[in-house]
Structure formats: structure tokens, C-alpha cells
Amino acid sequence: MEKQQYLSISGLTKYLKRKFDADPYLEKVFLTGEISNWRLRPTHQYFSLKDDNAKINATMFQGNFKKVKFQPEEGMKVLVTGRISLYGPSGSYQIIVDSMQPDGVGALYQAYEQLKQKLQVEGLFDRPKKSLPRFPKRIAVITSPSGAVIRDIITTTQRRYPIAQLVLYPAVVQGDNAVASLVERLHQVAQADYDVVIIGRGGGSIEDLWPFNEEAVARAIVSMPMPVISSVGHETDTTIADLVADIRAATPTAAAELATPRLDEEIINLQQLESRLQTAMLNRVKFAKQQVARQMNSVVFSNPQRLYDGYVQRVDLANERLIKAFQQRIANANNRYQLATHRIPLLQYRQQIVQLVKHINVTDRQLIQASSQILKDKQQQVAKQMQALNLVSPLNILNRGYALASIDGQVIKRTTDVEIDEQITLRVSDGTVTAKVTDIRKES
């Protein structure tokens, strides 16, 4: 066979690729399988799809992957559409994925549950909610300028609390540009001076409400410095924005009612407070007048001299006590003077004092001698008793060659107190000796 009849590898691969690309059955293929070799990449995604018996490589370019509403995971079963192509350098065929959704669960619902779980783990749903002001002055409303939401809010606010200022921040609430529009409006409101924010839209499908399930919108709501009321869809619709907002309203009308008080009721309350305040003040004035009247009719004002009657009596008594004390001191001094003038001269007793001192000195010497003799006698008695005790002391007996046998601190008195091979302790004069019993003889 001639050499020209042989194909190169590249030529064969190109031929097969053209066959793949030209086959109408491979132009759009619907596959179901399990994701394998998944690793999130910054741009294009490269992974595999497999079932129990086969596996195919898959590529999803960045533009199509951005449209996927959920986060693919390893082992997740998915439904994909795309075209079959052949990759020249490796000669392997692959599917170029155009769209992907979970198998058995809608893509939007899967994305909703994933984001809900993520934010719940971060604690965004359990954070302390900001309380609504009772009398708001300025209220920002982020919604579509042409929908029924803004009309309901305006009507309710004018009916309940017309003195509040409503400021509309028109936003796109549906479609691809809705997320960026909502986030931008939230940032604008955050930089202004508002008491409360209402964000929402009317009812619709999950696709229509989806911008309020985006992570960027949820984090923008959480970062708002003022309380946020979310009113998205109907009462049965619950979006991520509802979960992270400070309070959720079932309808736009309910949102306006939550944000504003009823002015007529507040006026009635003020009137009631004014009436109670006036009544309280009148009662206090009446009570004060009664107290003044009682004081004016009291004894103090009718007979003011009674105020110091008691003090006059106390001064008189104190004056009398002072005079008596002074007289007593004079009498005591006079008595001491009389005793001093009539006292017997001290010289008459000098001889007696000298004799008494001599007697005391003699008695002192005799007492010292007697004490010394008694002490000496007692010391001799103690010495005799110590000598007698020493004669009967066990230690003195040990010095004469005897020993004291014991077991565990118990003195051995009889042959029955010890057994063969038992260890005993012998106390001698200068220490102890441990011995072992080898024979026991009992004497009659």
C-alpha cells in the first residue's frame, strides 16, 4: 500500500471533528448525569458527567455559567443541554454545556436553598433586628415607579400619617439589571438621612421575584443603618430579602402601616394625655392649696410665741444647773482649804515613818533567807526522788546487760506471745536488735 493512503493523527482528528460538528443529532443534546471532578474555576468550568457505565468530559464557558442560578457540587445529579464536539489535542469527545439545572429540583429553588443555608450559617437571619421609629419624618421607598406598590404606599401613608415625607428611589425590580439597580438604590439610601426604608415589589413567579433572592441584595439590606421593611410578592412568597430585613410586610399597604402611625389616633392620644395632665395639675394645685390652708390655720401661725416657749424653758433650766455647778465647785474648794489649814504637821509622824522603814527592811531580809532555805530543801528532795526513780528505771536495768523483747511495739511477757520464725525486736542500752525466733521452751 502506498504511503499517500495513510492518514496522520491530526488529519483523522480533524475529519472526526467535522463529522461531530456536522451531525444534526449532536448539535443539541440533552443529558442527565452526575457531576464528577468538579472544581470551581475563575472563568470556564471543566468537569465530567457520569452514570453507572460511562463518563463524558464537559466544558461550560463563562458566559453560560454565569446564568446558572445554583452552585454545582461534586456528586450532584444535573440536567444539561449542549452540543457534542471533539477536542483535537487529546482526541477525546466532550459536551459543550449551554445550560444546567439540578435533576429533580428546580435550579432557582436549589439556588434559593443554598443561599439560605449559607446566610443562616453566618447568622444573618438571627442578628438583632432594628426597631421601627414611632414617628418617622422621612421614609425611603425602593421599588418600581410604575407599579401598584408605590401607589398603595402613597395612599396608605397619606391616609394614616400625611406629615411624613415619602421619597421614591425608582429601581428595576425584574430582569437581569434588577440586582445592580436594587443594590445601587440601597447604597444611595444608606448615605442619606432616613428614618425607615421600604423595599419591595408586587407578586409574580419565582423568576420575577428572583432579584430579591440574590446574595448582593441581601447583604446590602443587612448593611443598612436604618430599619428596613421588606414587602416582596404575595403573603405566601418568602424571599431572602424578607428573611434578612428587620421586618417583613405581607403587602405594600401593610408595609406603609408598619412604617407610620395613624395621625388621627395619635391626636386623640395627645388630647387624652393633655386632659389627664390638666386634671393632674389641677389636683396638685388643689392639694397644695389645702396644705397651705392647713399650715395657715396651725398653732404656729396663730400663736407664733409658742415656737420659742420650749426654748425659753430649756434656757432657764440650763441657767439654774450652771449656777448650782458653780456653787458646788466653790464649796468643794472651800472644804479643801479648811482641811489644809487644820492638818496636823507632818514632823510629828517622821519618827514613826523611820521605824516602819527599818521594820520593813528586816522583814524583807528574813523573807529572802526563808525562801532560800525552802528552795534548797526542795532541791534535795527532788534529787533523792530522781535517784530512787533511777534505781527502778528500765533503762538502768538495760545498762546492766538486760534486754527488752517486743513484737510490733508489744512487750513479750510469755512464751505464748511469740511463734517460731517470727521476728522480734530487742531493746538494749544503746539501741535495738532484730532477731528471729528459732526455739521456744516453756519452764514450769
More confident residue, 205 or 433: 433
User: In this predicted model, what pLDDT tens digit does every residue of 406-431 receive, in sequence order?
Assistant: 888 787 878 777 888 888 888 787 88
- In this structure, of 129-133, 221-225, 396-400, 418-422, the range with the lowest mean pLDDT score is 396-400
Say what the pLDDT of residue 67 is.
85
Nearest to 197 by CA among 239, 169, 219, 172: 169
Residues 321-350: what's their mean pLDDT?
A: 74
Q: Which helix (H) or strand (E) holds 93?
A: strand 92-102
- In this structure, of 12-21, 202-211, 391-400, 425-434, the range with the lowest mean pLDDT score is 391-400
More confident residue, 66 or 343: 66
Mean model confidence pLDDT for the chain:
83
- Tell the CATH superfamily of the 113-261 domain: Hypothetical protein af1403; domain 2 (3.40.50.10550)
Say what the pLDDT of residue 415 is.
77
User: In this predicted model, what pLDDT tens digit does every residue of 67-90 receive, in sequence order?
Assistant: 887 788 887 888 899 998 888 787
Say what the pLDDT of residue 183 is.
93
More confident residue, 304 or 24: 24
CA dist 152 and 252 (Å) reads 6
Give the number of other CB atoms < 10 A from CB of residue 68.
18
- In this structure, of 131-135, 343-347, 367-371, 419-423, the range with the lowest mean pLDDT score is 343-347
Q: Using 50, 70 and 90 to split pLDDT, how confident is the model at 140?
A: very high
Q: Using 50, 70 and 90 to split pLDDT, how confident is the model at 217?
A: very high
Contact in structure between 395 and 429 (CB atoms under 8 Å): yes
Q: Using 50, 70 and 90 to split pLDDT, how confident is the model at 189?
A: very high
Q: Is the pLDDT of residue 161 over 80?
A: yes
Provide the angle, in degrees to the nearest 10, between the axes of the packed helices 252-259 and 148-160. 30
Task: Give me the percent of the chain exceeding a pLDDT of 70.
Answer: 90
Q: Is the pLDDT of residue 296 over 90?
A: no
Contact in structure between 221 and 187 (CB atoms under 8 Å): no
Q: Using 50, 70 and 90 to split pLDDT, how confident is the model at 342?
A: low
Contact in structure between 195 and 139 (CB atoms under 8 Å): yes
**CATH number among 2.40.50.140, 3.40.1190.20, 2.40.30.110, 3.90.1170.50, domain 3-104:** 2.40.50.140
Contact in structure between 270 and 252 (CB atoms under 8 Å): no
Q: Is the pLDDT of residue 105 over 60?
A: no
Q: Is the pLDDT of residue 320 over 80?
A: yes
Q: Is 411 exposed, middle or buried (0-12, 13-18, 19+ CB in 10 A)?
A: exposed
Q: In the structure grid, which three cell numbers stand for residue 152, read together?
A: 398603595
More confident residue, 129 or 309: 129
- What type of residue is 192? A
Q: Is the pLDDT of residue 199 over 90?
A: yes
Q: Using 50, 70 and 90 to split pLDDT, how confident is the model at 271?
A: confident
Say what the pLDDT of residue 365 is.
81
Say what the pLDDT of residue 4 is.
64
CA dist 337 and 360 (Å) reads 34
CA dist 18 and 88 (Å) reads 11
Say what the pLDDT of residue 82 is.
92
Q: What angle do CA 260, 262, 268 make, to 5 degrees?
A: 145
